[in-house]
């Protein structure tokens, strides 16, 4: 019987190994074991079993439940409406239609770093998106709408209807009962002004649009770290995990942002996601960020004292003419009155798309090389023409000699 089939059906590794040993000792038993596995895989639970399980779950919840936030729209781990239940030891996603638990987590498995509540980007109706990250690289994502009331249930208390400031109350309750601090954006740390895709008007917003490889998403620069969401993967980079940031590939419209992680640091929500390597460091690159966001991101990194390596020596453009001179053993003064790439540390991308590009300090060296290449080609053409001319003259002379010999023979 294939080991993969056993692993899919039996979640006890010791039992799987025992079955494998039995099949090796008695190969004829494999057929019977396979039929047993198929039988229990395909067996539908009886109504009695289902009812008993639901009664046990309901009884356990009623005795242990602290708070229930009803009818919340979840994105991850399942895209459906569920109740969010917090007990003394667990966080539960409960399906009220089926009266059953969909997913549950131990409170001790929730990360203390990745909780957030942010305005949902590009929504016609004002909404808020919440994230709760786990230590096991998973994430819970759900939403609330500003215009839709939310019902809270607590044991031995009347139901509470939240009509305004729902995101504030829910964030506070999760922080208090699930022991996960929920962070919200702060204009003191980051602010962006962009055009709304729904209204077409300028608006203050707490996110920028970026790409992680081919996947588009939203970057939130929060007081506790950088959040990227909300499709898979939804990631959180705590400040403690960030060694430096680098701005690269600057054009008139966009630039890329690369995050370098500290050794042994962890990206929350990174199930199935892998960083890339730059030297010996783990890095994550977000591309195609609008140039107008440069100032806000730079201010954020300075605010949090994240080391910015955008203009590090090894990343500066090298002056080709200086390289050539050094290779020939020639010496030039450092200050020759010319603007070189070494003096570009104060460069910042402009918001004006019509502004001409910054002077390329390598351009003159490139033009000299191009002119040298053109001269070499012209000289080669001249030499080729001379060779062809000599070959033509030799052919004419040879033909004349042949004609003279024929005349001599006729005489």
286-308 per-position pLDDT tens digit = 999 999 899 999 999 999 999 87
* b/e 132-169 (16+ beta carbons within 10 angstroms → b): bbbeebbbbbbbbebeeebebeeeeeeeeebeeebbeb
Which value, in Å, is the radius of gyration of the alpha carbons in the chain?
35
As given in the structure block, the two tokens for residue 288 are: 């195609």
pTM for the whole structure: 0.63
Beta pairing partners, 388: none
pLDDT tens-digit map of 138-148:
999 999 999 99
Which structural domain range is residue 288 located in? 207-314
- Higher pLDDT among residues 120 and 52, named by residue: 120
Q: Which of 286, 314, 342 is the last residue of a domain?
A: 314
125 lies in some domain: yes
Say whether both 73 and 170 belong to one domain: yes
Tokens 């007990």 found at: 87
Q: DSSP string covering 165-221, please?
A: SHHHHHHHHHHHHS----B---TTT--EEEE-TTT-SEEEESEEEEEETTEEEEEEE
Domain end (from 268, 292, 314): 314
Tell me, yes or no, whether 394 lies in a domain: no
Better-scored residue on pLDDT, 140 or 372? 140
How do residues 245-278 score in pLDDT, each as one tens digit? Answer: 999 998 989 999 999 999 888 899 987 788 887 7
What's the whole-number mean pLDDT along residues 123-144?
A: 93
How far apart, in whole angstroms, are the C-alpha atoms of residue 298 and residue 107? 36
The reported pLDDT for the residue numbered 242 is 94
pLDDT tens for residues 75-101? 999 999 999 999 999 999 999 998 899
Tokens of 396: 């004419």
Specify the number of domains making up the chain.
3
327 belongs to a structural domain? no
pLDDT over threshold 80, residue 60: no
31 and 69 inside one domain: no
Task: Decide: 239 and 225 in contact? Cβ < 8 Å.
Answer: yes
Q: Mark whether 36 and 74 lie in a shared domain.
A: no
CATH number at residue 111: 2.30.29.150
The last residue of one of the domains, among 137, 167, 183, is: 183
Same domain, 158 and 102: yes
Is residue 403 in some structural domain?
no
Looking at the structure, do residues 214 and 112 belong to the same domain, yes or no?
no
What is the pairing mode between strands 242-248 and 307-308? parallel
Residues 272 and 167 in one domain: no
Average pLDDT over the chain, rounded to an integer: 77
One domain for residues 218 and 145: no
pLDDT tens by residue, 332-369: 444 444 444 334 434 444 444 444 444 344 444 444 55
> Mean per-residue pLDDT for 216-230?
95
Q: In CATH, what number is assigned to the domain containing residue 254? A: 2.30.29.30
Q: Is 402 a domain residue?
A: no
CA–centroid distance for 251 within its chain? 20
- Long-range own/partner contacts, residues 341-346 (CB < 8 A, 24 or more apart): 341/316, 341/317, 342/316, 344/311, 344/316, 344/317, 345/311
2 falls within a domain? no
N- to C-terminal Cα separation, the chain: 105
Residue 29's pLDDT is 85
In a domain, 345, yes or no: no
Residue at 148 is within a domain: yes
pLDDT of 152-169, one tens digit each?
A: 999 888 999 999 899 999
Q: What is the pLDDT of residues 181-193, one digit of tens each?
A: 999 999 999 988 6
Same domain, 38 and 69: no
On whether both 138 and 82 belong to a single domain, the answer is yes
What is the phi/psi pair of residue 153, to 5°? Answer: -120, 135
């Amino acid at each position: 019987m294939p080991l993969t089939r056993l692993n899919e059906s039996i979640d006890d590794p010791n039992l799987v190994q025992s079955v494998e040993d039995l099949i090796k000792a008695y190969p004829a038993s494999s057929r019977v074991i396979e039929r047993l596995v198929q039988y229990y895989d395909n067996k539908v639970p009886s109504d009695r079993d289902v009812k008993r399980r639901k009664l046990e779950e309901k009884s356990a919840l009623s005795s242990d439940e602290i708070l229930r936030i009803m009818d919340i729209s979840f994105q991850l781990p399942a895209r459906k409406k569920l109740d969010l239940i917090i007990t003394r030891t667990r966080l539960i996603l409960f399906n009220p239609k089926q009266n059953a638990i969909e997913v549950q987590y131990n409170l001790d498995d929730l990360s203390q770093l990745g909780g957030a509540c942010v305005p949902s980007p590009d929504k016609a109706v004002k909404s808020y998106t919440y994230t709760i990250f786990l230590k096991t690289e998973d994430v819970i994502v759900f939403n609330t709408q500003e215009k839709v009331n939310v019902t809270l249930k607590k044991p031995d208390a009347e139901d509470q209807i939240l009509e305004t400031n729902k995101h504030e109350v829910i964030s506070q309750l999760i922080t208090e009962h699930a022991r996960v601090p929920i962070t919200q954006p702060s204009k003191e740390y980051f602010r962006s002004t962009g055009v709304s895709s729904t209204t077409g008007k300028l608006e203050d917003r707490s996110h920028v649009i970026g790409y992680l490889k081919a996947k588009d998403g939203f970057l939130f620069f929060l007081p506790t770290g950088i959040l990227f969401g909300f499709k898979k993967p939804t990631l959180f980079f705590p400040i403690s995990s960030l060694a430096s940031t680098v701005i690269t590939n600057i054009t008139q419209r966009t630039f890329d942002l690369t995050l370098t992680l500290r050794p042994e640091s962890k990206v929350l929500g990174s199930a199935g996601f892998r960083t890339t390597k730059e030297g010996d460091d783990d890095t994550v690159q977000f591309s195609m960020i609008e140039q107008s966001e440069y100032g806000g991101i730079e201010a954020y990194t300075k605010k949090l004292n994240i080391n910015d390596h955008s203009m590090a020596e090894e990343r500066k453009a090298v002056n080709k003419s200086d390289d050539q001179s050094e290779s020939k053993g020639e010496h030039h003064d450092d200050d020759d009155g010319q603007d070189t790439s070494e003096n570009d540390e104060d460069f910042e991308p402009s918001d004006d798309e019509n502004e001409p590009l910054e002077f390329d300090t390598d351009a003159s060296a490139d033009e000299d090389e191009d002119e040298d290449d053109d001269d070499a080609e012209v000289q080669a053409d001249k030499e080729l023409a001379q060779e062809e001319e000599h070959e033509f003259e030799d052919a004419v002379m040879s033909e004349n000699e042949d004609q003279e010999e024929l005349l001599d023979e006729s005489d």
